[in-house]
Amino acid sequence: MQEEMLLPELDEESAPFFDYAAAGELRVQRCSACGTRRVPPRPMCHACGSTDVEWELLSGRGRVWSFAVPHPPLLPAYAAVAPYNVVVVEAEEDPAIRFVGNLVGSADGPLNEIDPESIEIGEPVTVVFSSPVDDGLGPVVLPRWVRAS
Amino acid sequence: MRDQTAVVGIGTTEFAKQLESTERRLALEAIASALADAGLAPSEVDGMACYSMESTEEIDIARNLGFGDVTYFSKVPYGGGAGCGVVGQAAMAVAAGQCSVAVAWRSRKRGARASRPWAGVAQRVGSDQQRWTRPYGLLRPVDEIAVLTRRYMHDYGGTRDHLANVALGARHHANNNPAATMGHKVMTREDYMAARWISEPLCLFDNCLETDGACAVVITSAERARDLPQPPALLHSWAQSLPAQHQTMTNFFCDDPLRGPAWACADKLWSLSEVGPADVDVAQLYDAFSPLVILSLEGYGFCQRGEGGPFTDDGGIEIGGRLPVNTSGGGMSEAYLHGFNLIVEAVRQVRGTSTNQVRDAEFSLVTSGEGVPTGAILFRSDR
Ligand SMILES: [Zn+2]
């Protein structure tokens, strides 16, 4: 049984997202040819077929689109903090650009820091970035979300 | 291929939370039972179709049962989304002349190593379905559907009472079905509301069962079907769908996440049918989670978007209601075999042999998983 919280396996398409996160930036792929944004990152633009991309800097502001509150049975590291929230956030720039994450009180706060009963769909949130987590395969910084002040 | 092929045999093993038998033996038992029901010898089988998740290879099934020279075999991916596509592809192969007698099946053990969801999970998760969700604790299918359900409730005013209607309807039907693993257990609305959370807003009874067992069907031409012992269940129409920009289960990254694969599947299904939703007498709607039934009612056109919840009120999806749904108890109260028992029950309804029989059922719909690339079949009685 996996004892630790999970981390993303990085590949050619996803690595830049986490590299930018490590620099404190929330960026998304944008087609260089036609400007269509795409999340999650992937090799080809579905609108025009181009494989040329830029990474557009977002404001980091968004709204809670929806959320779940998982309860056990869960992997041990998650069961230890359950119930916790998992939010889906829509970006201010484009409501169809969404990110899965956690609403926390501060960048390295526990997943159960916010009372799930207090979370509302539509509430404004701002991205923050966790401290690097290193499982031996290299440090990873995860974007997380706090309530907009 | 409308009305040109038929399911002529159905077979199931015992359903239970845990069975001693292996997935291979269960598959063989269910297929042998379906062939016996069809009155066909294994040596006549020349077509095979199954789920890509099936653990027993075609060569193994064919050699054990003593099939003839098999000239068509195919697999369909996406777990619970596969079932209707598996049967539909086998029927299409019959209609196209690639084979004459095809079997389709699903054998599954929840206790089997391969089906334990967390066996061998590494700390690093890949694939676009997992990398962007799992690290944040969106770990299980129920968590993914919980996100969609909460948004659905927000947008359309859906309630836990609507979800309870789905769970209670399934249980009421199961209470009349001796083969249902929950057949002997009564569930009340109070039981539902008191159940523990699994992933809010979904509780224990919004989830399907975990079942060991297998189901199989036999498909041949409608012409041949009329010479066989069982009343044919004609494949009036069938369809699959993997809609534009869909991402299986975590379908959060598109313009309209609540409009799942059911809509595109329904468009194709009804375009190939002589009838529409209003002509359907009974439906088996894939129910890994209760909200999927409500979404499917909308997707297949039994009501408008947002009206799936109220459709279930006042016994709307029970025998005698607007549209009896999951009349065997379905995945929530009979058995969860990635939806293949729903296909068997849809056939029973046009045969007239369900333990919750809809009187004179002519058109019987069955759907595969909503939220994943999916399929659907509209069976028709031959009269
Ligand atoms: Zn483009």
Residue B220 clears pLDDT 60, i.e. is over it: yes
What's the pLDDT tens digit per position in B33-46? 999 999 999 999 99
Q: In angstroms, rounded to a whole number, what is the distance separating the alpha carbons of residues B189 and B191? A: 5
Beta strand pairing call for B72-76 and B47-51 = parallel
Percent pLDDT > 70 in chain B is 98
Chain A hits for B245, CB-CB cut-off 8 Å, are 46
The order of strands in the sheet holding A37-38 is: A37-38, A27-31, A53-57
Task: Answer with the residue of higher pLDDT: B128 or B210.
Answer: B210
Residue B253 touches chain A, beta carbons under 8 Å: yes
Residue B250 touches chain A, beta carbons under 8 Å: yes
B151 and A66 in contact by Cβ < 8 A? yes
What's the pLDDT tens digit per position in B42-71? 999 999 999 999 999 999 999 999 999 999
Chain A hits for B204, CB-CB cut-off 8 Å, are none
What's the pLDDT tens digit per position in B19-28? 999 999 999 9
Chain B CA closest to residue A18:
B132
Domains and their CATH numbers in chain B: 5-112+209-381 (3.40.47.10)
Chain B CA closest to residue A100:
B133
Q: In angstroms, rounded to a whole number, what is the distance separating the alpha carbons of residues A127 and B93? A: 52
Q: In angstroms, rounded to a whole number, what is the distance separating the alpha carbons of residues B150 and B152? A: 5
How many whole angstroms from A35 Cα to the centroid of ligand 1? Answer: 6
CA distances from A107 to A113, A128, B210, B290 (A): 11, 6, 38, 35
Reduced to 3 states, what is the DSSP secondary structure of residue B280?
A: coil
What's the pLDDT tens digit per position in B163-208? 999 999 999 999 999 999 999 999 999 999 999 999 999 999 999 9
Q: Closest partner residue to A86 among B137, B245, B254, by Cβ?
A: B137
How many whole angstroms from B230 Cα to the centroid of ligand 1? Answer: 55
Look at the block and give the residue holding tokens 């031409």.
B221
Chain A CA closest to residue B146:
A68
Residue B301 clears pLDDT 80, i.e. is over it: yes
What's the pLDDT tens digit per position in A38-71? 999 999 999 999 999 999 999 999 999 999 999 9
Backbone phi, psi, residue B164, to 5°: -60, -35
Mean pLDDT of B107-114: 74
pLDDT-based confidence at residue B112 (cuts at 50, 70, 90):
low
Residue B118 clears pLDDT 80, i.e. is over it: no
Residue B120 clears pLDDT 80, i.e. is over it: no
Cis peptide before A16 (omega within 30 of 0): no
pLDDT on residue A7: 97
How many whole angstroms from A39 Cα to the centroid of ligand 1? Answer: 13
Residue B2 clears pLDDT 60, i.e. is over it: yes
Backbone phi, psi, residue B75, to 5°: -130, 145
Which residues in A have their CB inside 8 Å of a CB on B? 1-2, 4-9, 11, 14, 39-40, 42, 46, 65-71, 74-75, 78, 83-84, 86, 88, 96-102, 111, 116, 121, 135, 137, 142
Nearest Cα residue to A113 out of A139, A74, A87: A87
Residue B245 touches chain A, beta carbons under 8 Å: yes
* Joined tokens for residue A15: 């690595």
Chain A hits for B203, CB-CB cut-off 8 Å, are none
Q: Distance (Å) from the C-alpha of residue B86 to the closest C-alpha of chain A?
A: 28
Q: Which residues of chain A have pLDDT under 70?
A: none
Cβ-in-10-Å burial (0-12, 13-18, 19+) of B321 comes to middle
pLDDT on residue B370: 96
- Return the residue in A1, A10, A75 with the most chain B beta carbons within 10 A, the one to mutate for interface testing: A75
3-state secondary structure chain A: CCCCCCEECCCCCCHHHHHHHHCCCCEEEEECCCCCEECCCCCCCCCCCCCCEEEEECCCEEEEEEEEEECCCCCHHHHCCCCCCEEEEEECCEEEEEEEECECCCCCCCCCCCCHHHCCCCCEEEEEECCCEECCCCEECCEEEEECC
pLDDT on residue A1: 77
Residue B117 clears pLDDT 70, i.e. is over it: no
pLDDT on residue B129: 84
Residue B136 touches chain A, beta carbons under 8 Å: yes
Residue B336 among the catalytic residues: yes
Q: Distance (Å) from the C-alpha of residue A28 to the closest C-alpha of chain B?
A: 13
DSSP state of B131: T
Residue B262 clears pLDDT 60, i.e. is over it: yes
- Return the residue in A14, A17, A69, A118 with the most chain B beta carbons within 10 A, the one to mutate for interface testing: A69
Residue B300 among the catalytic residues: no
How many whole angstroms from B246 Cα to the centroid of ligand 1? Answer: 18
pLDDT on residue B119: 64
Look at the block and give the residue holding tokens 């956030």.
A89
* Joined tokens for residue B120: 């061998």
Q: In angstroms, rounded to a whole number, what is the distance separating the alpha carbons of residues B48 and B90? A: 7
3-state secondary structure B194-251: HCCEEEECEEHHHECCCCEEEEEEEEEEHHHHCCCCCCCEEEEEEEEECCCCCCCCCC
pLDDT on residue B116: 56
